[in-house]
Structure 1
């Protein structure tokens, strides 16, 4: 299962105005931590005739936890997805907003990996580029790389945010990082440790510290390692290194930041949860953001009523989806609401979409 826990402020019983101040929201509201499941493997949710693909289920809420605003996001998010495992859901990719991502690794990042989920993150501007190292390798935006990867590739996203490069250059530099990645030599063991090979050993680059890699192909990048008075780094001396799960745990993620696969997974999860929030907030339906839809005080009472509201929203979404299907050559009962043209994969950048070539 691929899901995205998300904090969402819902009103409690109070006489607050339609647009309360932030202080009042913290006094009278709750954070709803929602786990939304979404199929990220299908590229086209719509068939050629514009009707939904029956193999692509709609995004639905499958877990919920309510708490005070800003209170223990990692604890509540983890409690929500742990219950999903107990109910038999198979873990998949997992993306959460930055309240989860910026928690301490032992509170969020390591436990979700221990549950079998594969985290996918976005980062703050001050977290881009080099995020630390281990045994000579460097962690750049969640992925382990050769320490001699060119600085222009390490700082690609920071340069984009600072306006030093355009979006097309950023996309080219993200693609140019791939040969410098450390490659897995074997699967993770039961404790989360994994053997990772130097890219010169895996035939992705040429490096003078690995003489056998020189001349292996003129198309391969030539690494220029910096001289060191203490000799080559451990990752450069050995064929492979063993990385423990604690190393780089806060920022490590399962996909290469910014590439097409990352875009497909991360943004589908993000768009799904934001879309469901808007769906369930509809003033013509569940209006989960309004305190008047749950006229009773108390965390337990609010949780129970919100569960019924979200179950109704799930049912409404499933009914709408079923009515939009064209099965057995029959016309759908309801015309699909999806008429927008979405951006193609490969065009996203942290500052917007690439302009299509004219």
Structure 2
């Protein structure tokens, strides 16, 4: 019996060939002039080019490619591909711009010929050298980044990013000024258009990883000599989760957020950015992002931060943040919960000052609790947190020019929250006259002394000279240095109370949400392949451009959801391009000019 022949495949048809997948074309379509106009206007409105030109000064030889053109093309590359790479930016500038757009950016209108590799290579090198001029201008520790240095030489160069040398400090400050100006330009546009009307000043601050493509330091196999990374100031970023550490930089981001009780909506924007070595200057970098917001005229409310900021010295974060007008919403580590210290006899419990005679069960309600018990509190813990409230000292007077606050004893005043025999004895206050109470009125029942917690002093009680200051006075004044290093734990909401949860949890969720959007599909800050340029200056500028374009996208997405029906979609005001070359194709709002100040 002969073997059966395999069945032949059906003949290929024209339809089958037409539906066959094809690789994408190497060259993208021409970029609309409106996109170039928009990002050129954004860069010009930021004011960074005068800072760069003033620092650069006159240079001998040919002018070369303008730095402005390189930065605009990098933003266009991020807008179209999500990549902040010089190779992609040059490709778009060379082959995807109209002659009028190239002329506006100061480039040769004709551009390199695609079929001539020599002209392409020469144009590419000029483009790269322009970006190199910028990084050389701002780098306090200029060196050859193409080879690994011995670790001791790299450590010596890295000190230029931390020392007090005047020239190094000036370059570091100029670099940060450029970053701040870029990131805040879309924020100023949104504020000028009225998009931030619903923003009440609540911010979230967090540090996220910005990994680099460079390898970490390693020893040479033959000699055992330790060689540094080409990124001499990079380090290992350890996040709060269980994931492995990432080698690169840490990006401190301040995010516009709101509490659960706040009304109104606004675009979720990054309000500040600082790129630094991981786990260094955490508090100082957060303050650096907050200072420009006052100049911008934004309100101040709560600043919610994670436990990395709670660990900072008071002079590095907590006190400067309060001086800027922010209230703090903090979280604590396991060994920091419960009784943290005292001032003038009042106990500092989970960041709040309380009566020194608060029951021990309430004072130690959170002592030793792990994070899981805090995130999902039991009914018993919730009841203990609620029972703490009457024993908290009440704010009598907000901070003055020196930062001093006045707190009132919970047994003092016309509406005390507790009854205290010690207070009555020391201040010679007799028992109140009985009054008729309408038992159907909840407010009258709650205001009656019998309904309030009663302080139980020790028996026999201490002598008057041995009692703390809070018991001798109706109020105490808390100066910035009275708590010492424990002042970093003090916050303005009762820990784990409903108001604290409505503030801290909501703001932290919005902060993590923006971090997720910056590490999403279109723009991915966490992928080092999107930022291949070496050096801290280059990485700082590229991360700033990524966040700036992301802010612009966030504004555009929010406007499409909340734009009034009568507001125009886009403006025809672009740079001066002849009418026959002007691309007037509709755009998703990104061709709109900045608001009139």
Q: Could you say whether these structures have the same fold, taking a TM-score greater than 0.5 normalized by the shorter chain as the test?
A: yes
- Residue of structure 2 equivalent to 1:242: 477
Q: Could you say what the CA RMSD is over the residues aligned between the two structures, in angstroms?
A: 2.7
Gap change, CA 1:319 and 1:213, over 3 Å in 2:
farther
- Residue of structure 1 equivalent to 2:402: 191
Q: Does 1:222 align with 2:454?
A: yes
1:123 match: secondary structure = coil
- Residue of structure 2 equivalent to 1:31: 250
Q: Does 1:299 align with 2:508?
A: no
Q: 1:258 aligned to 485, 496, 508, which one?
A: 496
Q: CA–CA distance in 1 between the matches of 2:345 and 2:247? A: 50
Shift of 1:68: 0.8
Q: For each residue in 1:25-63, what CA deviation from the matched residue of structure 2 results, as whole angstroms up to 9, or x when unmatched?
A: 68940000001111226457xxxxxxxxxx311321010
2:451 match: secondary structure = coil
Q: For each residue in 1:181-235, what CA deviation from the matched residue of structure 2 results, as whole angstroms up to 9, or x when unmatched?
A: 1122333222111221111113111111122375561001110123335532211
Gap change, CA 1:213 and 1:281, over 3 Å in 2:
farther
Gap change, CA 1:154 and 1:266, over 3 Å in 2:
same
Structure 2, unpaired ranges of 5+: 1-200, 217-233, 238-244, 433-447, 566-597
Shift of 1:320: 3.0
Deviates more, 1:186-195 or 1:172-181: 186-195
Could you tell me the TM-score, scaled by structure 1's length? 0.80
- Map 1:141-180 onto structure 2 (within 5 A): 141-158=350-367, 161=370, 167-180=378-391
8 Å CA contact retained: 2:271, 2:289: no
Could you tell me the TM-score, scaled by structure 2's length? 0.49
Q: CA–CA distance in 2 between the matches of 1:65 and 1:80? A: 7
Structure 1, unpaired ranges of 5+: 17-21, 45-54, 329-358
* Structure with greater strand percent: 1
Q: CA–CA distance in 1 between the matches of 2:275 and 2:381? A: 40
- Residue of structure 2 equivalent to 1:201: 412
- Map 1:116-131 onto structure 2 (within 5 A): 116-131=325-340
1:171 match: secondary structure = helix
Kindly name which structure, 1 or 2, has the bigger radius of gyration based on alpha carbons: 2
2:251 match: secondary structure = strand
- Residue of structure 2 equivalent to 1:267: 505
Gap change, CA 1:298 and 1:219, over 3 Å in 2:
same
Deviates more, 1:224-233 or 1:269-278: 224-233
Q: CA–CA distance in 2 between the matches of 1:281 and 1:268? A: 20
8 Å CA contact retained: 1:287, 1:293: yes
- Map 1:307-346 onto structure 2 (within 5 A): 307-325=544-562
8 Å CA contact retained: 2:407, 2:478: yes
Q: CA–CA distance in 1 between the matches of 2:542 and 2:489? A: 36
Shift of 1:260: 1.2
8 Å CA contact retained: 1:63, 1:81: yes
Gap change, CA 1:14 and 1:187, over 3 Å in 2:
closer
8 Å CA contact retained: 2:270, 2:551: yes
Shift of 1:261: 1.1
Q: CA–CA distance in 2 between the matches of 1:108 and 1:159? A: 26
Shift of 1:87: 3.1
8 Å CA contact retained: 2:284, 2:316: yes
Q: CA–CA distance in 1 between the matches of 2:498 and 2:346? A: 24
